[in-house]
Amino acid sequence: MQEFEFIHRVTDMLPSQAEGLLCGIGDDCAVFAGNGGRDWLISTDGFTEGVHFQAAWASPSDIGRRCLEAAVSDIAAMGGRPRYVMVSISIPNTMSESDAMAYMQGISASAADYQMIIIGGDTTTSKQGLHLAITVIGDVRHGASLYRRGARVGDVVYVTGVLGGSMAGLNVLETKRTGYQEEVNRFLRPTARVASGAWLSDTGCVTSMIDVSDGLIQDLGHVAKASGVGLVVESGSIPCWQTEKGAVNIETACASGEEYELAFTVDGLRDSAFQRLLPAALGQLGHPITRIGQVVAGSGVIVRKPDGGVLSLDKSGYAHCIGKSA
């Protein structure tokens, strides 16, 4: 069973609506009505040694930092500001005290970059492998959260940054090649797009948003499904990461997970206004923002080649496989 099927079945088990809950399961964060004109955002991410990271590739501090950034990215994807963090860490009894501390130091250093406060957690031993679960809490101006479900026919599709570097870096580590240090850093030391997410929310032009954690096409697929629309992405517009030997191929840019860039849609009627805001913002945000497609009637995501044909992708992104079939 595939991860999303598992989540779907679990979601069906229970009611999902309650007073004050603006969004439950199904987006990057759950959203609650707060006070003082702010809403609360909350999200949990789990990280498992051998699945999400290999201790042989990275220092404990880098792994801790990377997990925190991945969790914070869920707040960024709603347009929020990260505020608090809770860490559940299960530490193998074969690990040294200094390594155990280094994981938490990486998490703490990254949290401090965002002026986040660690407000609790749980520390236990593990029989096998390190496991981390990071819960992040953020806030956002009341009603300003950007959801996956907001895309409408006629909207324009955008993405922040350039894509494919993370998968290229992972490939370098897996094949134990030398060089490509920028790609390796892109994989090992990603940064959540918090300032960009908040700015995009502030423009008032953005109708939906998601972070690119499972690969651009798969994540846009979540937007399409939640919004009940189709998305057409122009392959020639996708910003591809430049390596020592040229750009990564389009398949890598489309499927690369853990990019932590933001994919979003802009109201078609406000797109001109949005484009007028862009030049001043780009210098401050420090990365490109690229128009890559449009929202259409229909369902799913199509990548259109310059000749008008449809690009066939072997792999649209990453999904965990849950359980053996009976």
User: Within 65-124, which residues bind its own copies (CB under 8 A)?
Assistant: 83-84, 86-91, 93-101, 104-105, 108, 111-112, 117-124
Asked whether 253 and 164 are in contact (CB, 8 A), the reply is yes
Query: Nearest distance from residue 194's CB to its own copies, in Å?
Result: 17
CB closer to its own copies, 93 vs 178: 93
Q: Is residue 205 within 8 Å of residue 267, measured between CB atoms? A: yes
Name the helix (H) or strand (E) containing 234. Answer: strand 230-234
- Shortest Å distance, C-beta 12 to its own copies: 10
Touching its own copies, residues 17-56 (CB under 8 A): 17-18, 21, 24-25, 29-30, 33-36, 40, 42-52
User: Distances in Å between the alpha carbon of 205 and those of 79, 201, 275?
Assistant: 12, 8, 10
Least CB distance to its own copies at residue 214 (A)? 12
Minimum Å distance from CB 126 to its own copies?
A: 5
Can you read off the two tokens belonging to residue 212? 């690119």
Alpha carbons 127 and 202: distance in angstroms, whole number: 46
Q: What span, in angstroms and rounded, lies between the C-alpha atoms of 23 and 145?
A: 10
Of residues 116 through 175, those in contact with its own copies by CB under 8 A are 117-129, 131, 133, 135, 137
Nearer to its own copies, 135 or 203 (CB): 135
State the nearest-atom distance from the C-beta of 270 to its own copies, in Å.
30
Of residues 73 and 294, the one with the C-beta less far from its own copies: 73
Nearer to its own copies, 273 or 322 (CB): 322
First to last CA, the chain: 10
Q: How many residues sit in the footprint of its own copies (CB under 8 A)?
A: 80
CB count, 10 Å around CB of 11? 12
Tell me how far, at minimum, the Cβ of 162 lies from its own copies, in Å: 27
Least spacing, CB of residue 226 vs its own copies, in Å:
14
Residue 112 structure tokens: 């401090």
Residues 306-325 interacting with its own copies (rule: CB under 8 A): 320-325
Nearer to its own copies among residue 36 and residue 283 (C-beta): 36
Q: Would you give the distance in Å from CA 311 to the centre of its chain?
A: 24
Q: In the window 2-21, what residues touch its own copies (CB under 8 A)?
A: 3, 6-7, 9-11, 13-18, 21
CA atoms within 13 A on the CB side of 241: 25
Which structure tokens are listed for 264? 């979003």
C-alpha closest to that of 138 among 202, 74, 191: 74
Q: Which is nearer to its own copies, 10 or 282 (CB)?
A: 10
Cβ closest to its own copies, residue 36 vs residue 306: 36
Kindly calculate the radius of gyration of the chain based on its CA atoms and give it in whole angstroms. 19
Of residues 220-259, which lie at the interface with its own copies (CB under 8 A)? none
